[in-house]
Amino acid sequence: MGDEKYTFAIIHHRGSPYEATTVDGHKVERMEEIFIPEWGTFVKCAPYDDHFIYEDPESNNILGRWAHMCTCGSPAVIVGFSGYKQDASKISGGMLVCKLHADTGLHQTGGSKWQ
């Protein structure tokens, strides 16, 4: 331990698809879009019904920490895939999605809903 190059803000408590608490103790909430400073614009978040994309409050404080996460524990990435075109941000054309869900069709929780 301690040699990890990357760390992730995994959700410690779950129970609501609108708010959660990270293992670090930060409360995070569902947002429709997140501001991406490097792009100078907001990017929409995928509208999942059982999880949500959030910005990790510790990403600026911990070197190598992924900035955007899904509450399933997977990193979130910006995609410009035509399948998301109807939901994507008008200006950037992108959308923040759960990487695992985009790759496999399931969240890291194996597709199970929040309980």
- Whether the model pTM is above 0.75: no
The answer to whether 78 and 72 have CB atoms below 8 angstroms apart is: no
Strands 41-45 and 53-55: unpaired
What is the tens place of the pLDDT at every residue in 10-64? 554 445 578 888 878 889 999 999 999 888 989 999 988 888 999 988 887 777 7
pLDDT value of position 48: 86
The answer to whether 36 and 78 have CB atoms below 8 angstroms apart is: yes
Higher pLDDT, 105 or 91: 105
The answer to whether 26 and 9 have CB atoms below 8 angstroms apart is: yes
